[in-house]
Copies of this chain bind each other. A is one copy, B any other.
């Protein structure tokens, strides 16, 4: 089975305050980028996995997110695979 590359996008749930995003938004406005209406900051984790099908890998990565990578109380995550 070939190597899988997965991208995990972790971002705050809607409604959760994002002070880093607010700081970026304000800095962008100060730099003259007034067209930016909102900025939210999340994490992007790229994983290389061996010997797993996509189904099995999705299940395992969901577990990893719940146990370690994300905080399920305030964060959502999306798993995508790259060819």
Mark out the residues of chain A between 1 and 36 whose CB falls within 8 Å of any chain B CB in the assembled complex. Answer: 3, 9-11, 21, 24, 27-28, 31, 33, 35-36
Q: Are B64 and A35 in contact (CB under 8 A)?
A: no
Is A37 a contact partner of B48 (Cβ separation < 8 A)?
yes
Residues of A within 8 A of B (CB): 3, 9-11, 21, 24, 27-28, 31, 33, 35-52, 57, 60, 64, 67-69
Pairs A–B under 8 Å by Cβ, sample size 26: A10-B44, A21-B45, A24-B69, A27-B68, A28-B64, A28-B68, A31-B68, A33-B60, A35-B49, A35-B50, A35-B57, A36-B47, A36-B48, A36-B49, A37-B48, A37-B49, A38-B47, A38-B48, A39-B46, A39-B48, A41-B43, A41-B44, A41-B46, A42-B44, A42-B46, A44-B44
